[in-house]
């Protein structure tokens, strides 16, 4: 997932506590009888902590990156490991050497254009060593530079293009400034600095990638790149976004992109009016094709939008409802998410996919042919006394489900997945911000291969293997 630079600094501190807590982490495994129809086809061992992960379009290759420091030595460079799924053997490494004590902290990587390219977006980061020079557990990584786009050639396993986004700094056109100041009088017209990439996505079957750059003050812009040449495609500067962008997706053939935005409906009259919209941008024509208005709470998913084929888009929407599990009075509510599929030409809603038997339902991706949707499903309960009374969500059951977004039918369900429990009651950051460690449950990160034939589950924790599951014939 992709975050702004400011958000990433906060994430770095949170990750510090999670890494340190691994020394006392435990794992939850299923002891129940599962009736799933998913088959685990590979378990790929991994010794180091890892960050982003990608699976090739045919599910034959895994690519992942450690979090910046290799466990046994201090290595200040970014390394991507390429591993064969069937043999679990490492077949290549892709390295980005940088200055001493810095490394690129990539936040998401994806295969693009039939698996020809690997797209990675992130800033250079400075690594501040912990107090113990022989240990990497206390190191803190924080971003200090502009974001950049790295494009790797997956045939030669070499860097194909290095696209700097520093040129994104510019003065807003006077007409944009005037229009926005009319909406927000507190916005200043001076030069806005580059705040970083909010979201990035690429086409599964075309050399096209799109990014959303956040300039602050709820001002964003879209940039489109040709991955073959590494050059920006001009003509999209005229689509300024005067609202918060919550997600982006590129259609499989690269004909359009979809933006999920927080925006007021033009005829807004009451609280039931739509407060979000899906903006479809026609890439060949370089203009907005259609705007689809929806009602939703702020999504919990990092990038809750994906194409379901070339002419339909799926979006995770959430609503607030009474939490029937709680008995603490009328103010116990929770967010309930469902996936809504829309036709991009007409804007009509085609179907809604949800599961009322789970507490968390998250859209995790859709295959390039639009026939397989990956969703994370979780059952949990709240421990109100945990973390010194601040509370904690305890995951009781975590698994993934596969759906056909074109019919709304469920295809398959995985066995119960491992949940890593992080606890560190012995640890205290007296010289830092916190005075204790926050215990948490780590559910797996999930990705679907672009051909829809395999799902990969991975955990950031050291020692947790990467698991690959086959998808039943559709």
Phi, psi of 33 (to 5 degrees): -85, 120
The answer to whether residues 24 and 421 touch, using CB atoms and an 8 Å cutoff, is no
The CA R_g of the chain, rounded to the nearest whole Å, is: 22
Q: pLDDT 10s per residue in the chain (474 long)?
A: 444 443 433 334 334 334 433 333 444 433 333 446 788 888 888 766 667 889 998 889 999 876 544 433 444 457 788 999 988 889 999 887 665 555 666 678 899 999 999 998 877 665 555 555 544 444 545 545 567 888 999 999 999 998 877 644 444 445 445 555 554 554 444 434 445 677 899 999 999 999 888 766 667 788 899 999 999 998 887 676 667 888 999 999 999 999 998 888 887 777 778 888 999 999 999 989 999 999 888 777 778 999 999 999 999 998 877 666 555 555 566 678 899 999 999 999 999 999 989 989 999 999 999 999 999 999 988 787 777 777 778 889 999 999 999 999 999 999 999 998 877 544 433 333 344 567 788 889 999 999 999 999 988 777 788 999 998 776
Q: What is each CA distance from 283 to 225, 276, 327, 437, in whole angstroms?
A: 11, 22, 51, 47
β-strand partners of 380: 395
Collapse the DSSP code of 17 into the 3-class scheme (helix H, G, I; strand E, B; otherwise coil) and give the result: helix
pLDDT at 328: 52
Residues in Cβ contact with 377 at an 8 Å cutoff, skipping those fewer than 6 apart: 355, 358, 360, 361, 398, 399, 400, 401, 413
Following DSSP, what letter does each residue of 197-223 receive, concatenated?
Answer: EEEEEE-SSSSEEEEEEE-STT-EEEE
What was the pLDDT predicted at 88?
A: 85
- What pLDDT score does 425 carry? 47
Q: What is the DSSP letter of 34?
A: P
What was the pLDDT predicted at 252?
97
Domain edges within the chain:
5-470
As given in the structure block, the two tokens for residue 385 are 């006394």
Instruction: Tell me how far apart the terminal alpha carbons of the chain are, to the nearest angstrom.
Output: 28
CA 375 to chain centre: 13
Q: Under CATH, which number does the domain 5-470 receive?
A: 2.130.10.10
Distance CA 426, CA 413 (A): 38
C-alpha dist (Å) from residue 450 to 113, 126, 129, 252, 454: 10, 34, 38, 9, 9
pTM here? 0.80
d(CA 197, CA 144): 14
- Cβ distance 69 to 75 under 8 Å? yes
- Return the structure tokens found at 321: 């409802």
Count other Cβ atoms within 10 Å, centred on residue 378: 20
**Residue 419 in contact with residue 443, Cβ under 8 Å?**
yes
CA of residue 100 relative to chain centroid, distance: 29
Whole-number Å distance between alpha carbons of 382 and 323: 11
408 φ/ψ sector (left φ>0, alpha ψ -120 to 50, else beta):
left
Report the distance separating Cα 172 and Cα 438, nearest Å. 42
Beta bridge partners, 121, equal: 108, 149
**What values do phi and psi take at 453, rounded to 5?**
-100, -5
Please tell me the number of Cα atoms within 13 Å of 444 on its side-chain side.
29
Owner of token pair 């009088």: 185
């Amino acid at each position: 997932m992709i975050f702004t630079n400011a958000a990433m600094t906060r994430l770095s501190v949170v990750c510090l506590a999670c890494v340190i807590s691994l020394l006392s982490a435990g794992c939850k495994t299923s002891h129940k009888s599962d009736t799933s129809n998913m088959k685990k086809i590979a378990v790929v061992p991994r010794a180091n902590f890892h960050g982003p992960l990608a699976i090739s379009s045919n599910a034959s290759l895994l690519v992942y990156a450690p979090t910046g420091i290799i466990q046994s030595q201090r290595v200040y460079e970014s390394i991507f490991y390429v591993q064969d799924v069937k043999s679990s053997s490492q077949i290549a490494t892709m390295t980005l050497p940088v200055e001493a004590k810095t490394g690129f902290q990539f936040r998401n990587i994806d295969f693009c254009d039939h698996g020809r390219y690997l797209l990675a977006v992130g800033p250079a980061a400075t690594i501040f060593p912990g107090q113990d020079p022989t240990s990497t557990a206390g190191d803190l990584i924080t971003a200090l530079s502009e974001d950049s786009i790295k494009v790797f050639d997956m045939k030669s396993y070499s860097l194909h293009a290095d696209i700097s986004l520093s040129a994104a700094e510019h003065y807003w056109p006077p007409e944009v400034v005037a229009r926005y100041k009319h909406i927000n009088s507190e916005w200043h017209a001076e030069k806005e600095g580059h705040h970083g990439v909010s979201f990035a996505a690429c086409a599964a079957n075309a050399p096209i990638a799109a990014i959303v750059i956040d300039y602050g003050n709820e001002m964003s812009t879209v940039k489109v790149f040709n991955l073959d040449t590494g050059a920006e495609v001009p003509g999209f500067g005229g689509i300024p976004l005067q609202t918060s962008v919550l997600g982006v997706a590129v259609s499989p053939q690269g004909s359009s992109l979809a933006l999920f935005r927080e925006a007021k409906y033009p005829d807004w009259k009451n609280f039931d009016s739509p407060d979000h919209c899906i903006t479809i941008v026609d890439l060949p024509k370089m203009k907005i094709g259609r705007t689809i208005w929806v009602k939703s709470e702020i999504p919990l998913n990092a990038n809750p939008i994906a194409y379901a084929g070339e002419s339909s888009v799926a979006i995770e929407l959430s609503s607030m409802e009474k939490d029937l599990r709680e008995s603490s009075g009328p103010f116990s509510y929770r967010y309930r998410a469902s996936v809504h599929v829309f036709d991009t030409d007409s804007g009509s809603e085609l179907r809604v996919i949800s599961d009322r038997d789970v507490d968390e339902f998250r859209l995790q991706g859709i295959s390039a042919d639009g026939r397989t949707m990956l969703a994370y499903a979780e059952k949990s309960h709240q421990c109100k006394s945990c973390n010194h009374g601040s509370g904690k969500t305890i995951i009781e059951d975590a698994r993934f489900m596969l759906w056909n977004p074109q019919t709304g039918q469920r295809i398959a369900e995985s066995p119960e997945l491992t949940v890593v429990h992080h606890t560190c009651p012995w640890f205290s950051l007296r010289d830092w911000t916190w005075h204790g460690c926050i215990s948490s449950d780590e559910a797996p990160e999930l990705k679907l291969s672009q051909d829809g034939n395999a799902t990969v589950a991975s955990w950031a924790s050291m020692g947790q293997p990467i698991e690959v599951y086959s998808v039943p014939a559709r």
